C-alpha cells in the first residue's frame, strides 16, 4: 500500500512509474496542425516536486509543442484496468542543467546515444503547468490532482 503522505508530484511520479513498469511506456499527445499525434515516451524525472519530461529539439514533436504547448500524457496502469491522463501546458526549461541531469540518470541507453555530446542533438526538458492529472478506470475518475 502506498504511503498516504506522498505529495501530489510524488503520486504522479508513482503513477508514471507504474505505467512504465507495466507496459514499458506512456504516450505524449500533441497537435500537429489540427490533428492529434501521439508517440510513446518513457522518460520522466521528479525533481524539487516537479515532474519533468523530455523530447528532442530536432524532432517534429518539439515543433508541435512550440506551436501549441497544450499536451496530454496517457498510459495504462492497474494491470490494464486503469489509466493515467495528465494534461496541461508544456513549459520548456531554459539552460542545460536539467537535460544533463536527465541524461545522467540510469537507464535510457538509446536516449543517451541520441543526445550524446557531439551529436548536435539537444534534449528539451519540460514540465506541465495549468495541469490536471487523473487516475481513471474505464468509466470513473478514481483520483484527480490539479497542479
Q: How far apart are CA 82 and CA 133, in angstroms?
A: 13
Q: How far apart are CA 28 and CA 61, in angstroms?
A: 9
Q: What is the pLDDT of residue 58?
A: 96
Q: What is the pLDDT of residue 108?
A: 87
Report the chain's mean pLDDT, rounded to a whole number: 94
Q: What is the pLDDT of residue 132?
A: 98
Task: State CA 105 to chain mean position distance.
Answer: 15
Q: What is the pLDDT of residue 80?
A: 87
Q: What is the pLDDT of residue 3?
A: 58
Q: What is the pLDDT of residue 2?
A: 56
Residue 146 confidence (pLDDT) above 70: yes
Contact present, 106 and 65 (Cβ < 8 Å):
no
* Interval 62-113: pLDDT, tens: 999 999 999 999 999 988 899 999 999 999 999 999 999 999 998 888 999 9
Contact present, 131 and 89 (Cβ < 8 Å):
yes
Residue 35 confidence (pLDDT) above 80: yes
Residue 53 confidence (pLDDT) above 70: yes
Domains, the chain, ranges and CATH? 8-146 (2.30.110.10)
Q: How far apart are CA 68 and CA 48, in angstroms?
A: 26
Amino acid at each position: 500500500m502506498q504511503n498516504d503522505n506522498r505529495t501530489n508530484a510524488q503520486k504522479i511520479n508513482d503513477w508514471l512509474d507504474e505505467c512504465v513498469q507495466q507496459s514499458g511506456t506512456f504516450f505524449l499527445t500533441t497537435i500537429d496542425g489540427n490533428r492529434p499525434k501521439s508517440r510513446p515516451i518513457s522518460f520522466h524525472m521528479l525533481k524539487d516536486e516537479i515532474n519533468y519530461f523530455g523530447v528532442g529539439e530536432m524532432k517534429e514533436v518539439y515543433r508541435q509543442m512550440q506551436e501549441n504547448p497544450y499536451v496530454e500524457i496517457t498510459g495504462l496502469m492497474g494491470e490494464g484496468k486503469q489509466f493515467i491522463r495528465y494534461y496541461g501546458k508544456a513549459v520548456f526549461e531554459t539552460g542545460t542543467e536539467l537535460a544533463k541531469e536527465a541524461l545522467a540518470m540510469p537507464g535510457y541507453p538509446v536516449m543517451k546515444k541520441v543526445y550524446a555530446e557531439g551529436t548536435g542533438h539537444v534534449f528539451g526538458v519540460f514540465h506541465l503547468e495549468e495541469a490536471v492529472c487523473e487516475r481513471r478506470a474505464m468509466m470513473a475518475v478514481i483520483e484527480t490532482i490539479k497542479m
